[in-house]
Chain A
């Protein structure tokens, strides 16, 4: 069991480390990461989200509790992060960073690990888990950062309307819900062929997103404001997956769906949170530190939590 879990997680986290090394030693100089990140965020991530969610059966038996747990995890992260921010007397800008980091889990790491753990069968649940969480989380982080600056909320709506991740998710959800209802105009093979460029671009590039995640790690940002940093990691990588695991036990979600829920909600924060923080002139240093710490904590906690679901 231990070896199996290690074999699942090892390649993904080695790629994260590789990304860090490539940037640290300037094999890929700082300036060149901008294009790579832009390609990730604007194209590759939306591609993989669209093909995964659009193919998901959002109305399958047992989908509702899974969707509720996925969305519930985000809402719980919002409540916990706001509560902790108040306890620690965080400023509005610090609160925005804490909320954003706690609410967004890394969807690419989730897809990669789900595939490595369960193979092709994982697609039965990955889209169903990702869709509600991503829509909710994207709205929360844009509103959180926008709310901390004057006129930010005015900027938030246009930013949300053109957010590639949100657009891809909403289009995919609409497709997943409407497509089965319309009379078949194309055979399934033809639809697969039409989607194949998105499959190739999106799924083929998962590793690139992991490498970029590593390139974005900033250990220097771990200095100072240690209580906020630790709170973010504790909420994101420990409290939320444990709560979701408990919730799954309570409402009877088990098997592959339970494991995937923990794998998703226990993942580190997504690197694109940093991009949103930059766009809204947020606390970028603190955000980078929090993301880095969630990656480190998840590297240890996530295999343990996953093993718990498999043992159960």
Chain B
């Protein structure tokens, strides 16, 4: 069996488990808040820190990889801006834009060690540092122009939230530790390693718990369009940029993997806060999560050819 498919099996298996837990009431919907908070605020930053601080970036084309990754998101932003020409209300358009641009890096992080080895996992983690703020700035800008919220968007609050984002802090601190050559081994690093390992299964469970199949009925035509942008156009764009920047081998496979990830639940939160179409966003995240189980291995296999 294809190693990427084998690596994806536990990832989507745990996502399915999360959905079953919420659907069956074994862990009811309101109880997921604490799990979410602990995963994103404590465990995932620890995971990103330790993965990045221990990585050997001298042996991988990290520079061209990062340029291609950032370029991929900017290119997707430009492509999604072109969709504004289609007749649709502003709030709906913001959700279409977010659908094409936002990525769920946690799926790739969970898949990376088994599918790409340590080198690929380190690159996947590194991609978070510049792309999380980049994608957020693009989405907030679009929401500010075309979103429809009862209250004016508080850009200062959004800015503070970005600067204090634990994911970004974890990445940057890990990068600083990597450059300084500190905190890569010893009891402290082992503690972060142990804590960080819990982050991925928990986040995958919360992704599953957040799936909402009824939301697929909201604007099926536009959801199809956003899914096409996320699962077909984005990976092709990242692939093309990878070739353009001379990225190859494992790095190219990870780069295309970034493009091929499903949509992120953060898009739903922002749509709700800043006047987008939250239900359409939920439908997009659900549809891309399901379909990515099929499209991700295909795209990664194409990149590995």
The residues of A with any CB-CB pair to B shorter than 8 Å are 6-7, 10-12, 14-15, 18, 22, 27-29, 31-36, 38-39, 42-44, 112, 116, 193, 196-197, 199-201, 203-208, 210-211
Contacts and interface: CB of A to CB of B under 8 A. Distances in A.
A12 B194 contact: yes
Given A31-B34, A197-B17, 6 more contacts: A28-B38, A43-B21, A196-B6, A200-B11, A201-B201, A201-B205
Given A38-B31, A43-B27, A193-B6, A201 B195 contact: no
Q: Which 7 A-B pairs have the closest CB atoms?
A: A32-B34, A197-B13, A35-B31, A196-B10, A204-B201, A11-B191, A207-B198
Judged by DSSP, the binding face of A is helix
B269 to A, nearest CB: 17
Interface of B: 1, 6, 9-11, 13-14, 16-17, 21, 26-28, 30-35, 37-38, 41-43, 110, 186-187, 190-191, 193-198, 200-202, 204-205
A35 B194 contact: no
Contact of A7 (B190, B197, B201, B204): B190
B10 A34 contact: no
B26 A200 contact: no
Contact of B27 (A18, A31, A38): A38
A196 B37 CA distance: 25
Given A28-B37, A206-B198, A200 B191 contact: no
29 contacts: A6-B187, A10-B187, A11-B190, A14-B191, A22-B42, A28-B37, A32-B33, A33-B34, A35-B27, A35-B33, A35-B35, A36-B38, A39-B205, A43-B17, A43-B21, A44-B201, A196-B6, A197-B14, A197-B16, A200-B14, A200-B204, A201-B201, A204-B197, A204-B202, A206-B194, A206-B198, A207-B196, A211-B38, A211-B195
A192 B201 CA distance: 17
A205 B194 CA distance: 9
Given A38-B31, A39-B27, A39-B205, A204 B41 contact: no
A205 B10 contact: no
Given A15-B195, A200-B110, A35 B34 contact: yes
A47 B41 CA distance: 24
Contacts of B31: 32, 34-35, 38-39
Nearest to A206: B198
A239 to B, nearest CB: 29
A110 B247 CA distance: 44
B33 to A, nearest CB: 5
A7 B187 contact: yes
A205 B198 contact: yes
A116 B31 CA distance: 32
A54 to B, nearest CB: 16
Contacts of A15: 191, 194-195
A197 B43 CA distance: 19
Contact of A42 (B27, B43, B202): B27
Contacts of B41: 27
Nearest to A7: B187
A145 B28 CA distance: 27
Contacts of A36: 34-35, 38
B150 to A, nearest CB: 27
Contacts of A27: 41-42
A191 to B, nearest CB: 12
Given A12-B194, A42-B26, A200-B13, A35 B202 contact: no
Given A204-B197, A204-B198, A204-B200, A199 B10 contact: yes
B197 A207 contact: yes
Contacts of B30: 35
Contacts of A12: 194
A39 B20 CA distance: 12
B167 to A, nearest CB: 16
Nearest to A10: B187
Contacts of A208: 38, 43, 198, 202
A106 to B, nearest CB: 15
A204 B110 CA distance: 11
A14 B190 CA distance: 10
Counting chain A CB atoms within 10 Å of each CB, the highest count among B190, B196, B198, B204 belongs to B198
Counting chain B CB atoms within 10 Å of each CB, the highest count among A10, A39, A116, A210 belongs to A39
